[in-house]
Structure 1
Amino acid sequence: MTQSTQLLAGRRILITGAARGLGLAFVTAVAEAGATVAMADILHDSLQVAVADLQQRGLKVAGFALDLGDPASVEQCASHAIDWLGGLDGLVNNAAVTNSGGRTSEQLEVDMWDKVMNVNVRGTWLMTNACLPALRQSGRGSIVNLSSDTPLWGAPNLLAYVASKGAILGMTRSLARELGGDNITVNAIAPGLTLVEATEYVPKARHQVYHDHRAIQRDQLPEDVCGAVIFALSDLSRFYTGQVMAVNGGFVMN
């Protein structure tokens, strides 16, 4: 790794939903860029495998249990991760659930709506609050919220998820104004449909719609989103806040 690629050298970063998919790609890229990374996830076994693999590669990572649906778990995860890191310079709110797909608004159950909102919206809010004292102390804190391009174009039959990711966009902008005085930037990244474990349930026809209507006509991979995350966590973005980066190959041009 050359010095020019160490954009996050010395940074202490917490990434949720880090055991697989986009989260694991973010951890790998951020650690390779020089950061020390706390990996948080509810998937205990997958998390331990991922941590061991990255540590074997010489990257500075550790794993922490997290259930975003449980406020006590959020507080405990943040506390333990920050203690291990010795402070906190950046938070990537990536963890989410997507299991409301394939249902119309009328078919969507109340329990499913509540679960998606509790994890994706309330959980992101709680994790952010748990990390704010350490981010303020850093003096150069960065928060990166993972939204989705689905609220930008109104994806059908996915209402709870789309509504939750739309809420993340509003939360990002409001927090950016609240926290600017603390020198904390808050930005959102809105990926398109990405080839990860969490999207295996998505019908092939939906994948094809994305493929055919992107300006860059190919499948989207987790690695395609990593540059935006590194930018948002680095000093390159210190005057960039309250913004939404739609990383989707030009399917939606925000």
Structure 2
Amino acid sequence: MPSTTSNAPLLAARRILVTGAARGLGLSFAQALCAHGARVVLADLRAELLQASVAQLKAQGHDVHGVPVDVSDPASITGCVAQAVEMLGGLDGLVNNAAITDSGGKTVDELDIETWDRVMDVNVRGTWLVTRACRPHLARSGRGAIVNLASDTALWGAPRLLAYVASKGAVIAMTRTLARELGADAITVNAIAPGLVNVEATQYVPEARHRLYVEQRALQREQMPDDVTGAVLYALSDLARFVTGQLLAVNGGFVMH
């Protein structure tokens, strides 16, 4: 009986774009994708940090490129996706990771309209516009896959974080509609909802909130970037070709969804 296993890397030759990839979770995703055989374009607003991260991955022997992008700017998104497609020769996967918090620590009364609009522009509109720009290329792939980064804060209603929580709730809802609309093109769309991950972007979070997460998780320890990468790898791989419109909470059991 022939073997059903393969020694090929999980994402061999997959062409994947990761936004918000210059540091933190995005960089961890890019690193893991490369380690599993993917060819990756890292996109980020922070051009100098982006190039340093790309150089780091190249030094490890990975096939990577970097493209600056501002996901709040439609023209910047169009240019970024065009460059990514040219560099990779097409597109098989997209990780919508770019996001900002900005509203952290402000109550509903303290939150200003400008901050609300900025968070929505980046986290919600940016996810939509990047997806829209990538859709025709993912459709041509025949095995396109999109992973949207949500947050478990949208599942438990983290206080003093209203704009961010609302934006991530919108990403979860968008994921379901996108899955239905893009399914005709054989594109899967799923969302990952990490808990509070120990990365640069969460350094502003009060120590008491970090302790709350650790103490109330089923797995009582800090969450690290590598704890999230496996879910992203799975969702982009052929293992998940019949999984779409789903939300996977990856938070050590802080929220069980």
Q: Place the TM-score, normalised by the shorter chain, in its bin.
A: over 0.9
Count of matched residue positions in the alignment of Structure 1 and Structure 2: 252
Aligned to 2:142: 139
- Residue in 1 that maps onto 2:200: 197
* Inter-partner Cα distance in structure 1 for 2:197 and 2:50: 20
1:97 alignment partner in structure 2:
100
SS in 2 for 1:105: coil
Structure 2 residue aligned with 1:170, among 170, 173, 177? 173
Which of 207, 211, 234 aligns to 2:210? It is 207
- CA deviation string 1:122-167 (max 9, x = no partner): 0110000000010000001000000000010000000000000000
Matches within 5 A, 1:226-241: 226-241=229-244
For 2:15 and 2:119, locate their aligned partners in 1 and report how far apart those are by CA, in whole Å.
Answer: 29
Taking structure 2 as the reference length, what is the TM-score of the superposition?
0.97
Q: Distance in 2 between matches of 1:181 and 1:134?
A: 14
SS in structure 2 of the partner of residue 118 of structure 1 = helix
- Aligned-residue identity in percent: 63
Q: Does 1:76 align with 2:79?
A: yes
Q: CA deviation at 1:179?
A: 1.1
Task: Show structure 1 runs of 5+ residues with no match.
Answer: none
| Aligned partner letter, 2:70 | D
Q: Does 1:250 align with 2:253?
A: yes
Find the aligned partners of 1:245 and 1:190 in 2 and give their Cα distance.
Answer: 6
Displacement of 1:5: 6.7
SS at match of 2:109: helix
Q: Deviations over 1:39-64 (max 9, x none)?
A: 00001111111000100110110000
Residue 113 (structure 2) aligns with = 110
TM-score (norm 1): 0.98
Rounded to whole Å, the distance in 2 between the matches of 1:163 and 1:78 is 27
- Gapped regions of structure 2 (runs ≥ 5): 1-5
User: Which residue of 2 is the match for residue 18 of structure 1?
Assistant: 21
Per-residue Cα deviation, 1:171-195 (whole angstroms, up to 9, x for no partner): 0000001111111000000000000
